[in-house]
Chain A
Amino acid sequence: MPEAPLPRFAAPPPARFALSEAAAAWLLSAPAMLSLFLLLLGPSLALIALSFTDWELGAGGLTWIGLGNYAELLEDRTFLAALRNTLLYVALVMPSSIGLGLLIALLVEGGKRLRATFRAIYFLPVVSLLVAMATAWQYLLHPTIGPVNRLLALFGVAPINWLGSSDWVLLSLCAIGLWENLGYVVVLFMAGLTAIPSELYAAAEMDGARSPWARFRLVTWPLLGPTTLFVVTITAIRCLRVFDTVAALTDGGPNNASEVLLHVMYKEGFTYFRIGYSAAITAVFLAVVLALMLIQTRILDRRIHYA
């Protein structure tokens, strides 16, 4: 190879004005900050403000009515039913999906066979289009042609109107909610489990923890503590947001038996255009979500991190 000197490149022309680091940073953050204020923080503050007014879309003026909307909520049977149902939904779906999810995660992690397959199957509902799957559930739970009732009939159970009777409708929605959230919990717990060093199990066995239950109590459960707390909060918030199945299957009925917070908020705000009133419902929803997060950080702060 001939040793030709590399051609020299001319130095790049100096930038006409070199930005300071701070100016560059502000410029880079500007679009995000602008849209953050315009689309999230601003509207959220506006929502709180609106919840103290009687504004109705198309009705022109608006008056400050203080806590009027909130006072009305306390009297509103539909809202109270929705609040009760939502909390009931959380109270049923969250513990059951966490209990079952932990069990399934332990079983899946307990052996090597089919691990990826099971994980994928259980996770499938999380990524599926919930409205469409709700429609499939509606068919499954149909009182006359639904396979579930037909299956039960084989054991002599009389047909149940799963989504049409006020006794069953919330339970049915909870079952769909469990089906929908389970895979999420499984995946989070599986991640938590793989983070536990396997030598701890060996040490526990050596230390005399003979039964699987003793090892669970000594190693698994305490080491899953942070994961569990996280899963509890996430699942609770996911459950609080229940909307799709109600909108698609029951419209809150029969007789408010399946009414939930977001669905009442949707109806009041976007069907009846009672913006102020709907804003008050949203504020209640926000308060519950924030309270859950507050509880989580409080517990996290109090415990020593040992990860």
Chain B
Amino acid sequence: MRPGRDPGLLADLPRLAVLGLGAVIILAPYLWMLSASLKPGSEIFSDSLSLLPQRLYAWENFSKAFREVPLLRFLLNGVLVCAVILFFQLLFAVPCAYALAKLRFRGRETIFALVLAGLLIPAHVPALPIYAGLAATGLLDSYTALVAPFVISVFGIFMFRQAFRSLPEELIHAARIDGMGEMSIVWRVVLPNAWPTATAFATFSIVAHWNDLFWPLVVVQHEALATPALGVLFFRAEEAGNDVGALMAASVVVTAPMVAFFLAAQRRFIQGVATAGLKG
């Protein structure tokens, strides 16, 4: 409990040891996944606990993974879907958040109440009716279907509204006097001044949709449309799914981008995902 003094390394050792042990357990699946992706099957099935491969089999495992399923395609699908979702979320949520935060109009309280109501509903709840709707319009198994339910983020509206409220009124008044319309105020004055919120929201949104399995599993049948999360399931369904080395190689490939992204921008990530706790 935060003692006021800074302990020496020796006194600090028990703390570091406990945390280190926990860290090893947390990292264990990553290490074994990576290790198995480098080993030939014979070594994976042998009785050894060694992490390092005796014979490097990385090329075979990874090339098999890329051969069996279009891993690159999955990754590109993931990037595309996340980007389009984020684009629409910002396009819809930011102007609405600005109106709720800075404009006075009849109905504002009602709109905000609806937003709060939306916050309470998990994304799985509207899934069935939306699915039925997409089926009726023949839009299942398409990029549209992958993106559609997520173009509105009530959480985004909420988060941006909180951020915009703290912007000074003078800033907006000055922009109006300079001749800007409300739309340009939103994109050229208000949003650039809430940049930390925007990046936090973006990381939250990207992590959520990159990792989402439920919705792609519901709407996608064709391998060509699979996102990384769904791609893993497709791979396991293939014959190669029984090849542990190749399966681990595929897992490494789909896990790596987000992990690398995270390690590069840790602070923003943690801030984004943690502040977005309200609705995940």
Query: Which residues of A are in contact with B by a Cβ distance under 8 Å?
Result: 12, 15, 19, 21-22, 24-29, 31-33, 35-36, 39-44, 46-47, 50, 57, 100, 104, 106-114, 116, 118-133, 135-137, 139-140, 145, 147, 150-151, 179, 182-184, 187-188, 191, 193, 198, 201-202, 205, 212, 215-216, 219-220, 230, 234, 237-238, 241, 243-244, 247-248, 262, 265-266, 269-270, 275, 278-279, 282, 285-286, 289-290, 293
Contact of B213 among A205, A219, A243, A279 (CB under 8 A): A243
Nearest Cβ in chain B — how far from A46, in angstroms?
4
Instruction: Report how far A124 CA is from B261 CA in the complex, Å.
Output: 11
Instruction: Report how far A198 CA is from B3 CA in the complex, Å.
Output: 9
Contact status A286-B111, CB under 8 Å: no
Contact status B92-A31, CB under 8 Å: yes
Cβ of B263 within 8 Å of any chain A Cβ, yes or no, is yes
Cβ of B168 within 8 Å of any chain A Cβ, yes or no, is no
Q: Which of B5-48 contact A (CB under 8 A)?
A: 6-7, 9, 12, 15-16, 18-19, 22-23, 25-30, 32-33, 36, 44-45, 47
Contact of B29 among A24, A104, A121, A137 (CB under 8 A): A137
Contact status B179-A12, CB under 8 Å: yes
Cβ of B254 within 8 Å of any chain A Cβ, yes or no, is yes
Contact of A131 among B15, B233, B248, B259 (CB under 8 A): B233
Closest B residue, CB atoms, query A19: B182
Binary CB contact string for chain B from 111 to 131 against chain A (1 if under 8 A, 0 otherwise): 100110110111011111111
Contacts of A114 in B (CB 8 A): 16, 19
Contacts of B133 in A (CB 8 A): 43
Q: Which of B94-118 contact A (CB under 8 A)?
A: 95-96, 98-100, 103-108, 111, 114-115, 117-118
Closest B residue, CB atoms, query A269: B128
Give 7 new A-B contacts, CB below 8 A, not counting A26-B99, A128-B211, A139-B33.
Answer: A22-B105, A39-B151, A116-B266, A120-B263, A133-B30, A184-B273, A237-B280
Instruction: Report how far A182 CA is from B100 CA in the complex, Å.
Output: 35
Binary CB contact string for chain B from 78 to 97 against chain A (1 if under 8 A, 0 otherwise): 00000000000001110110
Cβ of B175 within 8 Å of any chain A Cβ, yes or no, is no
Contacts of B126 in A (CB 8 A): 39-40, 42-44, 46-47
Instruction: Report how far A148 CA is from B247 CA in the complex, Å.
Output: 18
Closest B residue, CB atoms, query A213: B1
| Given A269-B128, A286-B125, A136 and B29 contact (CB-CB distance below 8 Å) | yes
Instruction: Report how far A129 CA is from B132 CA in the complex, Å.
Output: 28
Report whether over half of chain B's contact residues are helix, strand or loop; otherwise say mixed: helix
Contact status A21-B105, CB under 8 Å: yes
Instruction: Report how far A147 CA is from B48 CA in the complex, Å.
Output: 9
Closest A residue, CB atoms, query B257: A129
Cβ of B62 within 8 Å of any chain A Cβ, yes or no, is no
| Given A109-B2, A128-B255, A31 and B95 contact (CB-CB distance below 8 Å) | yes
Nearest Cβ in chain A — how far from B78, in angstroms?
9
Contact of B244 among A107, A131, A139 (CB under 8 A): A139
Contact status A265-B1, CB under 8 Å: no
Instruction: Report how far A106 CA is from B248 CA in the complex, Å.
Output: 35
Q: Most chain-B CB neighbours within 10 Å: which of A25, A39, A122?
A: A25
Contact status A26-B214, CB under 8 Å: no
Instruction: Report how far A140 CA is from B91 CA in the complex, Å.
Output: 43
| Given A21-B103, A124-B262, A279 and B128 contact (CB-CB distance below 8 Å) | yes
Contacts of B36 in A (CB 8 A): 139
Contact status B18-A24, CB under 8 Å: no
Query: Which residues of B are in contact with A by a Cβ distance under 8 Å?
Result: 1-4, 6-7, 9, 12, 15-16, 18-19, 22-23, 25-30, 32-33, 36, 44-45, 47, 49, 91-93, 95-96, 98-100, 103-108, 111, 114-115, 117-118, 120-122, 124-133, 135, 148-149, 151-152, 154, 157, 179, 181-183, 186, 207, 210-211, 213-214, 217-218, 228-230, 232-233, 236, 244, 247-248, 250-251, 254-255, 258-259, 262-263, 266, 269-270, 273-274, 277-278, 280
Contact status B157-A293, CB under 8 Å: no
Can you identify 23 A-B contacts, CB atoms within 8 angstroms? A22-B103, A24-B99, A26-B99, A29-B96, A29-B111, A33-B111, A36-B152, A50-B128, A100-B22, A111-B15, A113-B16, A129-B210, A131-B229, A136-B33, A139-B247, A201-B2, A234-B278, A237-B280, A238-B280, A265-B124, A275-B128, A279-B128, A293-B120
Contacts of A108 in B (CB 8 A): 19
| Given A33-B111, A130-B211, A285-B125, A125 and B2 contact (CB-CB distance below 8 Å) | no
Contact status B19-A266, CB under 8 Å: no
Contact status B23-A32, CB under 8 Å: no
Nearest Cβ in chain A — how far from B193, in angstroms?
17
Contacts of A182 in B (CB 8 A): 26
Closest B residue, CB atoms, query A11: B179
Contact status B45-A145, CB under 8 Å: yes
Contact status B4-A205, CB under 8 Å: yes
Instruction: Report how far A46 CA is from B2 CA in the complex, Å.
Output: 52
Instruction: Report how far A243 CA is from B118 CA in the complex, Å.
Output: 22
Contact status B248-A136, CB under 8 Å: yes
Closest A residue, CB atoms, query B136: A57
Contact status A129-B92, CB under 8 Å: no
Instruction: Report how far A114 CA is from B20 CA in the complex, Å.
Output: 10
